[in-house]
């Protein structure tokens, strides 16, 4: 009886471990939102890139329409709140271009697109 319980217990641990691992490794697809709202209301206030925790070796650069760098980060960790690089004040509402680079599967890949800030 005790042995049977022990086996069940170990089996349960095994399931937990397997589930934990699969939950961690399942997140591989980088998804960069096309809009966020850094107005301090606690909803969608930061530029959150899905699965970025699995790609710590990354860089993110945000440009305005004139090609000026508005924000730049090495090892971006989902903490951009829409404030500019230079004077740390809010960048104007509008659409910005981004270049996101990350090592994926041993090679560096770039993702580009646009992000709209609306407050
Ligand atoms: Ca918001």
Q: How far apart are CA 101 and CA 91, in angstroms?
A: 22
pLDDT of residue 22: 46
The answer to whether the Cα torsion of 27, 83, 116, 113 is positive or negative is: negative
Ligand 1 midpoint to CA 117 (Å):
10
Kind plus residue range of the DSSP H or E element containing 82: none
- CATH number listed for the domain at residues 31-117: 2.60.40
C-alpha distances (whole Å) from 39 to each of 91, 93, 113 are: 11, 10, 22
Ligand 1 midpoint to CA 1 (Å):
56
Kind plus residue range of the DSSP H or E element containing 100: strand 94-104
Ligand 1 midpoint to CA 72 (Å):
21
Question: Tell me: the pLDDT tens digits for 82-105?
Answer: 999 878 899 999 999 999 999 988
Divide the 119 residues of the chain into consecutive groups of 10 and give the mean pLDDT of each group: 56 50 66 97 97 95 96 97 91 98 91 97
Q: How far apart are CA 22 and CA 39, in angstroms?
A: 35
Q: Whole-model pTM?
A: 0.76
Ligand 1 midpoint to CA 118 (Å):
8
Name residue 35's beta-bridge partners.
Answer: 116
Q: Count CB atoms within 10 A of the CB of residue 36.
A: 20
Ligand 1 midpoint to CA 38 (Å):
5
């Amino acid at each position: 009886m005790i042995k049977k319980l022990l086996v069940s217990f170990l089996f349960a641990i095994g399931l937990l471990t397997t589930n934990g691992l699969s939950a961690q490794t399942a997140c591989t697809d980088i998804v960069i939102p096309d809009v966020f709202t850094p107005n301090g209301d606690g909803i969608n206030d930061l530029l959150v890139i899905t699965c970025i925790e699995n790609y710590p070796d990354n860089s993110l650069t945000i440009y305005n329409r004139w090609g000026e760098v508005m924000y730049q980060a090495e090892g971006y960790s989902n903490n951009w709140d829409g404030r500019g690089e230079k004077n740390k004040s809010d960048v104007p509402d509008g659409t910005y271009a981004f270049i996101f680079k990350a090592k994926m599967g041993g090679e560096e890949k770039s993702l580009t697109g646009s992000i709209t800030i609306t407050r």
